[in-house]
């Protein structure tokens, strides 16, 4: 089956006075029809830039410098601005962190929805308005009919995000890109919005690229997860495998550092020393090597590309099929709290 979205060897560059920065470097992944792919990583890892590159909205001077992006098998990275505009909204729906960036504060909610519907579909004004109301009902806005004439500021944050979801889905896109859709919302509202997004996309068979720094949201929502580090792929695989049996030392560190509601609260949290490097200062070889306690000489000289690792792919020499080229003696990790298997252990088969 053709992937809904296919990203191959993507490189995004940002020219600056200090030189050309590689915000995304040799990134490849696919999203299958109906699949939810979670994209996680620390602040600055390149999550949003990946999303912007796909929808053709990279902020200049950022540019796609290499690689291919395909939607339903067709290349979209080389399309002109007009063609790209038609794809956005119709074939790719977008949801951002701050609902107010997607809503015009001066227009009534109903008018914004109706207008968007009319740009994608040939309907009468009346039919478009009916469809708008149906959409608002579907995203759980009470008294939707009356709410059509409200302005965005008359809605709470959670309601606004519901409207944005309605907007993103109104043309039945094949892909929805949601960038931190719940980060600005209250804890009790986040869960509602995530559940809504997941339900509506699966009903419509839309694929989702869910960008977030919250591994918990990913664990609950995604089918597969892609972990980014300093603009590069660290690990990609089925969500259960990545969460329970992380294969890349960075993913392993990340998972162990997350405080959870299970386990012994008195146990100190595992921590990764140091911080992710800035784009201008990515070390040679593996970008993670200064923070990795598996690092060996090769990691400082050569850049690891994804190797098959258990159910996942991990960009780490620990998984080089040639044992002679792996680190001399992998340090046995104390299995962290919550039974996360160490990165150098053989994973159990995952369903």
Q: By the criterion CB under 6 A, which residues form the site for ligand SF4?
A: 248-249, 286, 288-289, 292, 294-295, 299, 304, 316-318, 327
Using only C-alpha atoms, the chain has a radius of gyration, in whole angstroms, of: 22
* CA-closest candidate to residue 165, choices 93, 100, 220: 93
| Contact characters 195-214, ligand ATP, x per CB under 6 A | ------------------x-
Alpha-carbon distance of 339 to 249, in angstroms, equals: 15
Q: Which of residues 284-313 bind other proteins (CB under 8 A)?
A: 291-293
Q: Which of residues 33-92 bind Mg ion (CB under 5 A)?
A: 48
Which residues sit opposite 239 in a β-bridge? none
Q: Which of residues 257-286 bind other proteins (CB under 8 A)?
A: 257-262, 264-273, 275-276
Alpha-carbon distance of 48 to 64, in angstroms, equals: 14
In this complex, which beta carbon is closest to other proteins, that of residue 31 or of residue 272?
A: 272
In this complex, which beta carbon is closest to other proteins, that of residue 10 or of residue 215?
A: 215
* CA-closest candidate to residue 110, choices 88, 84, 139, 133: 133
Q: Which of residues 283-302 bind ligand ATP (CB under 6 A)?
A: none
Alpha-carbon distance of 1 to 76, in angstroms, equals: 19
Alpha-carbon distance of 92 to 172, in angstroms, equals: 9
| Least distance between ligand SF4 and beta carbon 158 (Å) | 20
Per the rule left: phi > 0, alpha: psi between -120 and 50, beta: everything else, 73 is: left
| Least distance between ligand ATP and beta carbon 164 (Å) | 17
Structure tokens at 144: 């939707």
Work out whether 143 is an interface residue with other proteins (CB under 8 A). Answer: no
Q: How many CB atoms lie under 10 A from the CB of residue 113?
A: 23
In this complex, which beta carbon is closest to other proteins, that of residue 173 or of residue 253?
A: 253
Q: Crossing angle of helices 125-138/157-169, nearest 10°? A: 130
Work out whether 54 is an interface residue with ligand ATP (CB under 6 A). Answer: no
- One residue of 44, 72, 140, 283 binding ligand ATP per CB under 6 A: 44
Length of the chain: 351
Q: Crossing angle of helices 109-120/125-138, nearest 10°? A: 110
| Least distance between other proteins and beta carbon 143 (Å) | 14
Catalog residues that contact Mg ion under the rule CB under 5 A. 48
Catalog residues that contact ligand ATP under the rule CB under 6 A. 14, 16, 21, 23, 41, 43-49, 59, 62, 213, 279
Catalog residues that contact other proteins under the rule CB under 8 A. 42-43, 156-159, 186-192, 194, 213-217, 219-220, 239-240, 243-244, 249, 252-254, 256-262, 264-273, 275-276, 291-293, 333-334, 336-338
């Amino acid at each position: 089956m053709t992937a809904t979205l296919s990203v191959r060897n993507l490189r995004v560059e940002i020219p600056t006075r200090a030189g050309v920065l590689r915000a995304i470097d040799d990134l490849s992944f696919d999203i299958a029809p109906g699949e939810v792919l979670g994209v996680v990583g620390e602040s600055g890892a390149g999550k949003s830039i990946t999303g912007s590159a796909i929808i053709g909205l990279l902020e200049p001077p950022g540019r796609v410098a290499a690689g291919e992006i395909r939607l339903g098998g067709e290349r979209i990275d080389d399309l002109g601005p007009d063609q790209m505009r038609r794809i956005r909204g119709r074939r790719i729906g977008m949801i951002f962190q701050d609902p107010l960036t997607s809503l015009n504060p001066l227009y009534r909610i109903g008018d914004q929805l109706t207008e968007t519907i009319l740009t994608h579909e040939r309907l009468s004004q009346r039919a478009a308005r009916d469809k708008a109301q149906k959409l608002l009902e579907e995203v759980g806005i009470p008294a939707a009919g009356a709410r059509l004439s409200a302005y965005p500021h008359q809605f709470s944050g959670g309601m606004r995000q519901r409207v944005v979801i309605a907007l993103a889905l109104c043309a039945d896109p094949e892909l929805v890109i949601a960038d931190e859709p719940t980060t600005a919302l209250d804890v009790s509202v986040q869960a509602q919005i995530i559940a809504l997004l997941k339900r509506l996309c699966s009903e419509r068979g839309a694929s989702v690229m869910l960008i977030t720094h919250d591994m918990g949201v990913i664990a609950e929502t995604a089918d597969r997860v892609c972990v980014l580090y300093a603009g590069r792929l660290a690990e990609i695989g089925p969500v259960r495998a990545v969460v329970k049996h992380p294969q890349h030392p960075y993913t392993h560190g990340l998972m162990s550092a997350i405080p959870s509601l299970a386990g012994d609260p008195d146990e100190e949290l595992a921590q990764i020393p140091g911080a992710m490097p800035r784009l201008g200062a990515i070390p040679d070889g593996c970008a993670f090597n200064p923070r990795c306690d598996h690092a060996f000489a090769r990691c400082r000289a050569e850049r690891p590309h994804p190797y098959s690792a258990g159910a996942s792919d991990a960009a780490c020499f620990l998984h080089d099929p040639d044992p002679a080229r792996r680190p001399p003696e992998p340090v046995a990790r104390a299995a962290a709290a919550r039974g996360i298997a160490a990165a150098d252990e053989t994973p159990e088969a995952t369903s």
